[in-house]
Chains A and B, each alone.
Chain A
């Protein structure tokens, strides 16, 4: 059984304005990035996956369960999503309570929830802030708390909506490591982002959405080699890929390490 199955998904907020125009996709365990220009339908798509929106036409199956047949809360056990704005979510006065909220909702026992929450906070390097009030922390720390809240729920599928916005170098490293760690643990990670360099480093698969349709779907190096299609979707290749293309290499290089290793081996 596929973890996520999307069949002929169409969605409109209002009659006559189709946001998603017939999407067919399956997801299993490859770490996937969804990219596309603003307005292409990325956020709408993941909201549909989460069950927050219901398809106008077509079906979405999360581990065999049709999203129209379960409440969002029930689906939350299988599929977690880290939203863009931490302020939309945080409401408890202690970090640990905030992180435990999700796990408790999906029926983890108190001990289990606490254990998972502490572990998640440790991963985000926030163990020393466990009893603090989230509102006393900085925006980037609050963002990390929301990530911890979803990690603690230990869902099979995790979606990140623009995780690197407003993150500095250290923040990005943390997030990169988390994505890799989740993928290593066999979780399905789906990331929406504008940061192509980030995509190149953490994703095995890339889906390009443009005007509500999937125009490219493949492995990261396959997708990033198609700079013509990327351009039509108002996207660019990662920086290193652009440089190597200009230098005339046939191979699509995704990361600096990859290219440097190649060059050093060349010599």
Chain B
């Protein structure tokens, strides 16, 4: 298991350098615009933009498995909707004796493009942002430091807990607990793990809580940050662009 739960891919591209908050805003805007302007080409246009960002960030290859997976699911939706969508009237085409209808296909298509759009926008966020930076950016903007800590520590503690399970397994196997074999054996092997895992986690959590306390975690002082990101002009420009696009969409919607 990886040392930290993170999909972040280390690269040095412009997209990577964009402020995490802006990437969150991008996701929000990408999700909102197709809803505000429900034209088919809007979602497709946004998908193309996201793809170009992903290419710029050199992480496109990581996205492909995700795309493949969603395409499979979406394809099944397209088929089901094409066949059975309520309001199917207009025939689109036949395959053998099975009839696909325009309304269903259209609906599924819109749905699919929206889903892919959201996934790609999220992919940009997740693949090009270090979780710790993202969380720290949120904390700087006002997210409770406690909550921020819970999030960032979970990313490392969960893998640790998984390897702790390994140590516990080792200790019990050492005492003759059979873990290899048929399903019944393996299920039975599960029980001697529960107690130690739970107790271990409780004890560790408590000890860590004490360690945090004595590192002034609950101090009322205004926190400072070791990693101070310069507020680049480009950050503000990007934010401006995003808000403009959003506003423009709303305006267009009202007008049209």
A and B touch in the complex (CB under 8 A): yes
- A residues near B, CB below 8 A? 47, 50, 52, 71-73, 76-77, 80-81, 83, 85, 87-92, 101-102, 104-106, 135, 149-150, 153
Closest Cβ of chain B: how far from A147's Cβ, in Å? 12
- CB closest chain-B residue, reference A52: B170
* Chain B residues whose C-beta falls within 8 Å of the C-beta of A150 in the assembled complex: 175
Residues of B close to A71: CB separation below 8 A:
173, 178-180
Q: Closest 8 A-B residue pairs measured CB to CB?
A: A105-B176, A91-B195, A102-B175, A76-B176, A72-B173, A73-B178, A89-B171, A106-B176
B167 touches A50 (CB 8 A): no
Say yes or no: A153 contacts B175, CB within 8 Å: yes
| Residues of B bordering A, CB below 8 Å | 164, 167-168, 170-180, 191-196, 199-200, 203
B171 touches A73 (CB 8 A): no
Please give me the residue from chain A that is nearest to B191 by CB atom: A91
What are 12 contact pairs spanning A and B, CB under 8 A? A52-B170, A71-B179, A71-B180, A72-B170, A73-B178, A81-B174, A87-B200, A88-B167, A88-B200, A92-B195, A101-B175, A104-B176
Q: A80-B175, A87-B199, A105-B175 are in contact. List 18 more A-B contacts (CB 8 A).
A: A71-B178, A72-B179, A73-B173, A76-B174, A76-B176, A83-B167, A88-B167, A88-B196, A89-B171, A89-B172, A89-B175, A91-B193, A91-B196, A104-B176, A106-B176, A149-B175, A153-B175, A153-B176
Task: Give complex CA distance A50, B167 in Å.
Answer: 13
Instruction: Report yes or no: B173 in contact with A101, Cβ–Cβ below 8 A.
Output: no
Residues of B close to A77: CB separation below 8 A: 176
* B171 close to A83 (CB less than 8 A): yes
Contacts of B194 in A (CB 8 A): 91
Q: B164: which A residues are within 8 A, CB to CB? A: 88
Contact A135-B199, Cβ < 8 Å, known A52-B170, A88-B168: yes
Which chain A residues border B174 with CB–CB below 8 Å? 50, 52, 72, 76, 80-81, 83
Q: Chain B residues near A102: list those with CB within 8 A.
A: 175-176
Contact of B177 among A47, A50, A73, A87 (CB under 8 A): A73
Complex Cα–Cα for A91 and B169 (A): 12
Greatest chain A CB density within 10 A among B167, B174, B194 is at: B174
* Chain A residue, CB-CB nearest to B181: A71
* Chain A nearest Cβ from B99, distance in angstroms: 56
Closest to B204 in A: A87
In the bound complex, residues from chain B placing their C-beta under 8 Å from that of A104 are 176
Asked if residues A73 and B179 are in contact (CB atoms below 8 Å), the reply is yes
Inter-subunit contact B178/A89 (CB<8 Å): no
- A71-B178, A73-B179, A101-B192 known; A89+B168 contact, CB < 8 A: yes
- Report the minimum CB–CB distance from B147 to chain A (whole Å): 29
Query: Which residues on B sit within 8 Å (CB–CB) of A91?
Result: 191-196
Residues of the A chain whose Cβ atoms lie less than 8 Å from the Cβ of B167 = 83, 85, 88
> In the complex, what distance in Å separates the CA atom of A149 from the CA atom of B175?
8
CB closest residue in chain B, given A108: B176
Q: How far is the CA of A87 from the CA of B203 in the complex (A)?
A: 9
User: Which B residue's beta carbon lies closest to that of A93?
Assistant: B195
Chain B residue at smallest Cβ distance from A47 = B170
Point out the residues of chain A lying under 8 angstroms from B195, CB to CB.
90-92
Give every chain B residue within 8 A of A101 (Cβ-Cβ): 175, 192
Interchain CA distance A153-B177 in the complex, whole Å: 13
Nearest B-chain residue to A85, judged by Cβ:
B167
Residue on B with the closest CB to A102?
B175
A102 to B174, CA, bound (A): 8
User: In the complex, what distance in Å separates the CA atom of A81 from the CA atom of B175?
Assistant: 8
How many Å lie between the Cα of A144 and that of B184 in the bound state? Answer: 32
- Cβ-defined contact, B196 with A89, below 8 A: yes
State how many angstroms separate the Cβ of B186 from the closest Cβ of chain A: 12
Question: Considering the chains assembled together, what is the distance between the CA atoms of A92 and B178 in angstroms?
Answer: 17
